Amino acid sequence: MNGLEVLRSSLRGMTSNKMRSALTLLGVLIGVGSVILLVGVGSGSAKAVAAQIDSLGTSTLTVRAGGGGSSAGGIRFQNLTLAVSDALAVKDQAPDIKAVVPEVTTSQTITAGTVSTTAQIVGTTSDYFSVTNSPVAHGTSFTANDYATARRLVVIGAQLATTLFPSTDAVGKTLIIGSTPYLVNGVMAAKDSTGFENTNTVLVAPLTRVQQSISGYGNLSSIVLQATGSGTVTAAQAEATTIINSTLKITNPTDATYSISNQSQLLTARTSATSTFTAMLAAVAGISLLVGGIGVTNIMLVTVTERTREIGIRKALGATRGAIMGQFLTEATLLSLIGGVLGVAAAVIGSQFSIMGVKPSIVTSSIVLALGVSMAIGIFFGGYPAARAAAMRPVDALRHD
């Protein structure tokens, strides 16, 4: 038999039992589609995180409490306070730091009319919106005077605005935090978000008001610094380290009770986390692909058993072992390859929807790899049934009922 005849014979074998072939295709389809789609989820998550970090700019630094120090080492643990923020804002001491944005973060139940939801509240200064690249799309942000007088006004994220005021413009409306009314002064522009962090659901208010009514006059959650340019980030970080160590009276760098990270470091850390996440998803999906391959072996063994007499007749008429093996191997490979192509199509369709809050980003290499693996599955898992068929003795095959 030439190649075309082998292909035709394999297709006839597949269509002779459509339901069985369809179920085999389904197993491979699910495996291939899962691998491509879940790798796409990991890739989409990584891209969203990178875009989110990039939106902050390459000239920002973040100071957070926590570091190598401990009370056991004789150093009293000290958190970030407004005194640290004020020291960083002195231009003579930090010429490479353009802006200093202290932040207090907490969660509270927010009510607007009959609607209630829990949201993250950020108490900060008016520089927050420019430094974190969070422009106000409707209304206005609060001013330095609003901060100084601790006015009861807020700027909310786009999604939070839709949740609290689904049928009306949020600007100028009143919402309740605890038992205190606040005026909605503005709504921030919608930003891309990930399943891990959604900046569209935050509420931003003057730090003075948040400390007075919500969080109390405790420690800061973080301090965001903006360097004078992307080329002065390292100098700004060094200046910040010197100032904070002096303010907190830290003489040994290993006893630091804070950490300073720039966007490059943050991106590296989060990329590493999402890469691990992607690998785990791919491993889970790979198991389903393995199960699909086992299904190919099972179905091909059944097919060989059912067509034993046909094999005997063909061998009696002079068919070689190679021809018999080639036919069944081609059939197994076709089943796997068609299932793989359908799996790719299913993954592309599935990528149009968000999964776990993440829009999948299909990776071309994963498609090529998945199709290659599906072909390998057909060859590997179809190899044993094909070899078994080729090894049959004609006399034994013809006796089979």
For the CA atoms of 219, 224, 228, 234, the dihedral, rounded to the nearest 10 degrees, stands at: 90
Examine the domain organization and report whether 385 and 284 are in the same domain: yes
Q: What is the pLDDT of residue 277?
A: 73
Q: Is residue 57 part of a domain?
A: no
Question: How far apart, in whole angstroms, are the C-alpha atoms of residue 393 and residue 309?
Answer: 11
Which residue, of 227, 256, 285, is where some domain finishes? 256
Q: Is residue 208 part of a domain?
A: yes
Q: What is the pLDDT of residue 163?
A: 94
DSSP state letters, 76-96: PP----HHHHHHHT-TTT-TT
Question: How far apart, in whole angstroms, are the C-alpha atoms of residue 357 and residue 45?
Answer: 9
Element (H, E) at 215: none
Examine the domain organization and report whether 275 and 332 are in the same domain: yes
Examine the domain organization and report whether 90 and 235 are in the same domain: yes
Angle 263-306/321-350 helices, nearest 10 degrees? 140
Examine the domain organization and report whether 72 and 205 are in the same domain: yes
Question: How far apart, in whole angstroms, are the C-alpha atoms of residue 53 and residue 224?
Answer: 13
φ/ψ of 363, rounded to 5, equals -95, 120
Residues of the chain falling short of pLDDT 50: 68-77, 195-196
Q: What is the pLDDT of residue 207?
A: 96
Q: Is residue 292 part of a domain?
A: yes
Q: Is residue 263 part of a domain?
A: no
Amino acid (1-letter code) at residue 266: L
Question: How far apart, in whole angstroms, are the C-alpha atoms of residue 80 and residue 101?
Answer: 12
Examine the domain organization and report whether 157 and 190 are in the same domain: yes
Token pair 């998803």 is found at: 281
Q: Is residue 105 part of a domain?
A: yes
Question: How far apart, in whole angstroms, are the C-alpha atoms of residue 55 and residue 33?
Answer: 32
Sign of CA dihedral 88, 271, 361, 364: positive
Examine the domain organization and report whether 106 and 252 are in the same domain: yes
Q: What is the pLDDT of residue 70?
A: 42
| Backbone conformation region of residue 318, classed left if phi is above 0, alpha if psi is from -120 to 50, else beta | left
Which residue, of 226, 256, 286, is where some domain finishes? 256
Q: Are 154 and 175 in contact (CB under 8 A)?
A: yes
Question: How far apart, in whole angstroms, are the C-alpha atoms of residue 297 and residue 291?
Answer: 10
User: What pTM does this model have?
Assistant: 0.58
Question: How far apart, in whole angstroms, are the C-alpha atoms of residue 28 and residue 34?
Answer: 10
Domain that holds residue 374: 3-51+269-399
Q: Is residue 296 part of a domain?
A: yes
How many distinct structural domains can be found in the chain? 2
Amino acid (1-letter code) at residue 327: Q
Q: Is residue 58 part of a domain?
A: no
Examine the domain organization and report whether 210 and 298 are in the same domain: no
Q: What is the pLDDT of residue 143?
A: 92
Which residue, of 231, 256, 281, is where some domain finishes? 256
Examine the domain organization and report whether 73 and 221 are in the same domain: yes
Examine the domain organization and report whether 190 and 86 are in the same domain: yes
φ/ψ of 69, rounded to 5, equals -75, 160
What tokens were used for 60? 């920002």
Q: Are strands 153-156 and 180-188 parallel, antiparallel or unpaired?
A: parallel
Question: How far apart, in whole angstroms, are the C-alpha atoms of residue 30 and residue 296?
Answer: 13
Examine the domain organization and report whether 92 and 13 are in the same domain: no
Q: What is the pLDDT of residue 59?
A: 80
Examine the domain organization and report whether 359 and 251 are in the same domain: no
Half-sphere exposure of 306 (CA within 13 A, CB side): 12
Question: How far apart, in whole angstroms, are the C-alpha atoms of residue 32 and residue 344?
Answer: 7
Examine the domain organization and report whether 196 and 284 are in the same domain: no
Amino acid (1-letter code) at residue 111: T
Q: Is residue 311 part of a domain?
A: yes
